[in-house]
C-alpha cells in the first residue's frame, strides 16, 4: 500500500489517535520538506536548544528518549506549530501531543543506521519513515 493509500485508510479508522496522526502527517511531511536543511536541520535545531542527548537517542540505535510537548514547542517555535495546526485541522495541544509520539519514531526510522542523511536523501528517508509509521496505524 502506498503512502497516500495508507493515509486515506487511516482516516477511516475508529482509533482517535490514528485519525489525529493521519490528519497531521501531510502537514508534517510538508514542514520537514521545507524546513531549512530538512531533517538534518530539525536535528540541528534540537541540538542548538540543548536537547542534543534527546535527539541523539532518536538517531542512535538504542531506545528513544521521550520528548514533551513543551520541549517540542520550544524547538519548533510557535509559527511552525501554528502552521501544523492550521494545515492539519488539529488544535495546538493535539498537534504537540501527536508530535511527541510521532517525531521520535520518524527520526528513528529515517536514521536506521544511526547516521543523519542530508539533502534530498534525508527527505526521502523521512517519506520512507512516514510510510512505515502509517503501516502501523
pLDDT tens-digit readout, 97-127: 999 998 998 888 888 888 887 654 444 555 5
Query: Using CA atoms in the order 24, 27, 30, 36, what is the torsion angle rounded to 10 degrees?
Result: -90
pLDDT for 13 equals: 56
Number of CB atoms found within 10 A of residue 23's CB: 19
15-64 per-position pLDDT tens digit? 777 778 888 988 888 888 888 888 889 999 999 999 999 999 999 989 99
* 49/46 Cα distance (integer angstroms): 5
Number of domains composing the chain:
1
Residue 9 binned pLDDT confidence (cut-offs 50, 70, 90): low
| Contacts (Cβ under 8 Å, ≥6 apart) of 113 | 61
Q: What is the pLDDT of residue 122?
A: 44
pLDDT score at 121: 47
Q: Is the pLDDT of residue 137 over 60?
A: no
Which of 38 and 66 is assigned the larger pLDDT? 66
**Is the pLDDT higher at 30 or at 73?**
73
The CATH number of the domain where 105 resides is what? 1.10.10.690
Range of the domain at 115: 3-136
Whether 91 has a pLDDT exceeding 90, the answer reads yes
Closest-CA residue to 130 (of 109, 101, 104): 109
Amino acid at each position: 500500500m502506498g503512502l497516500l493509500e495508507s493515509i486515506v485508510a487511516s482516516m477511516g479508522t475508529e482509533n482517535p489517535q490514528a485519525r489525529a496522526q493521519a490528519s497531521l502527517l501531510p502537514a508534517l511531511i510538508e514542514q520537514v520538506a521545507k524546513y531549512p536543511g530538512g531533517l538534518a536541520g530539525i536535528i540541528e535545531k534540537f541540538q542548538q536548544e540543548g536537547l542534543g542527548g534527546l535527539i541523539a537517542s532518536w538517531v542512535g540505535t538504542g531506545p528513544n528518549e521521550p520528548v514533551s510537548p513543551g520541549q517540542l514547542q520550544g524547538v519548533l517555535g510557535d509559527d511552525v506549530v501554528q502552521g501544523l495546526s492550521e494545515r492539519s485541522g488539529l488544535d495546538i495541544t493535539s498537534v504537540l501531543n501527536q508530535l511527541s509520539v510521532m517525531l521520535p519514531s520518524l527520526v528513528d526510522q529515517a536514521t536506521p543506521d544511526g547516521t543523519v542523511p542530508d539533502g534530498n536523501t534525508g527527505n526521502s528517508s523521512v517519506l520512507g519513515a512516514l510510510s512505515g509509521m502509517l503501516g502501523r496505524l
